[in-house]
Structure 1
Amino acid sequence: MKRFIPLLALFLAFSCAKEKQDVSRIEGKRINITDSIAANEEIEAYIQPFRERIQEDMQKVLSYAPKDMHKRDGELETTIGNLMADFVKLQSEPVYKKRTGKSIDICLLNHGGIRAPIAKGPITTQTAFNVMPFENSIVVAELTAENVHALVNYLAEAKRAHPIAGLTIKLNNDFTVHEALVNGKPIEDGKTYTVVTSDYLQHGGDRMYFLQDPVTLEVLDYKIRNAMIDYFKTVDTIPAKLDGRFVKL
């Protein structure tokens, strides 16, 4: 009898165990959201003040563009590309200087990251969101001279107007590098250079692998779009220029 009771309990435990179940099929259907679906008036009334405030902020005029600026108005440099590289370097410099005591040598961004032109006329907060809809943040990577040479060669081979500042590149007719200067001086072997860029590129975006293994890396906790808005607030009329920073001879 003593042996029977444990065996009976074991039998009951297994017989009461739940049967294992697996998902055999998943079904879904598309529900179109159209004007025929009535809005919830209570929810609409609640969010209306917030919507109006956001719309007001987005349409606030910050600066003025003297001409249309877009990323195809030059071969290797563009007006909007030069603008973006310049303001990212300018706005990042005091933050980086305060943290590290060092200055920024170069700015490098990517042509594909510019998502809209800037039209001649008033510039609003909405303009910044149109040009830079991404949440990319600014980082400063300290590179060896070897990696700066790799950066220059990448730009020459890409034959694309990736925005740069602090760097001057002259290419031969066959797109080989004729001259590359950082702040007006040749790149020195054994020296390191600071490059301000986006976190996306620093992680190897657009195959910019030369940014991935920096000597040091400083994350500024500052979005490119916010830097753009801050810059627009400081200038009455933004510059629209091609200045020969990246040319083919």
Structure 2
Amino acid sequence: MPFENTLTILELKGSQLRQLADYIATTHGQPVAGMTLTITNNKAQDIRIKGQAIEDNKLYKLVTYDYLANGGDNLTLLTQPVSRANYPQRMREGLIEYVSELTKEGKKVNAELDGRIKIN
């Protein structure tokens, strides 16, 4: 994590999350958690948040880097959230704290493929 990215929480409408899912589809996948989708012909389908179908007018929270929230990596769709909260903590510091807490609890960090994004 070589960059000085900080934590940003965006509140987005479901319709905006659909746009994000289409961005993920056209770029052939992006790191995402809590969302599942299927990509067919560069189009997102069966988009779900925590197993539930997205509702266009419902509000959802997205935790991301300030870089992406500012439109980096061509994610200009994130620059117009319903609301935005910026936090000064660097992402790497938060990650270090999280892993340290898991370690103190005797838990292991286990990375595995979980089928969040399926490409047909």
- TM-score, normalised to structure 1, is 0.45
| Matched pairs, number | 116
Q: Give the gaps of 5 or more residues in structure 2.
A: none
> Is residue 2:46 matched to residue 1:175?
no
Distance 1:189 1:231 in 2: 32
Question: How much does 1:175 deviate?
Answer: 3.0
Equivalent pair of 2:14/2:60 in contact (CA under 8 Å): yes
AA in 1 matched with 2:102: V
Residue 19 (structure 2) pairs with residue 150 (structure 1):
yes
Which digits, 9 at most, give the CA deviation of each residue in 1:103-153, with x for residues without a partner?
Answer: xxxxxxxxxxxxxxxxxxxxxxxxxxxxx0111000001112221111000
Distance in 2 (CA, whole Å) between partners of 1:139 and 1:208 is 14
Percent identical residues: 34
Alignment correspondent of 2:116 = 245
Q: What is residue 139 of structure 1 aligned with on the other side?
A: 8
Residue 34 of structure 2 contacts residue 49 of structure 2 at CA under 8 Å; is this kept in 1? yes
Alignment partner of 2:92: what SS? helix
Relative contact order, higher structure (CA 8 A, sep 6+): 2
User: Matched residue of 1:168: which SS?
Assistant: strand
In the TM superposition, what is the alpha-carbon distance from 1:178 to its structure 2 partner? 2.6
C-alpha distance in structure 2 between counterparts of 1:156 and 1:170, whole Å: 8
CA distance in 1, matches of 2:44, 2:18: 10
Measured in 1, the distance between the counterparts of 2:44 and 2:14 equals 16
Larger radius of gyration: 1
**Structure 1 SS opposite 2:23:** helix
Task: Quote the residue 1:164 is aligned against.
Answer: 32
Using the TM superposition, give the Cα deviation of residue 193 of structure 1 relative to its aligned residue in structure 2, in angstroms. Answer: 1.0
TM-score by length of 2: 0.90
Matching residue's letter, 2:14 = A
Q: Which runs of 4+ in 1 moved over 3 A?
A: none
Aligned-partner Cα distance in 2 for 1:184–1:222: 30
Task: Mark the CA change 1:189 to 1:169 in structure 2 (over 3 Å): closer, same or farther.
Answer: same
Distance apart, 1:222 and its partner CA = 1.8
In structure 2, what is the equivalent of residue 229 of structure 1? 96
SS of residue in 2 equivalent to 1:164: coil
Which residue is equivalent to 1:66?
none
SS at match of 1:235: helix
Q: Which one has the bigger strand percentage?
A: 2
Q: CA RMSD in A?
A: 1.2
Q: Which runs of 5+ in 1 are unaligned?
A: 1-131
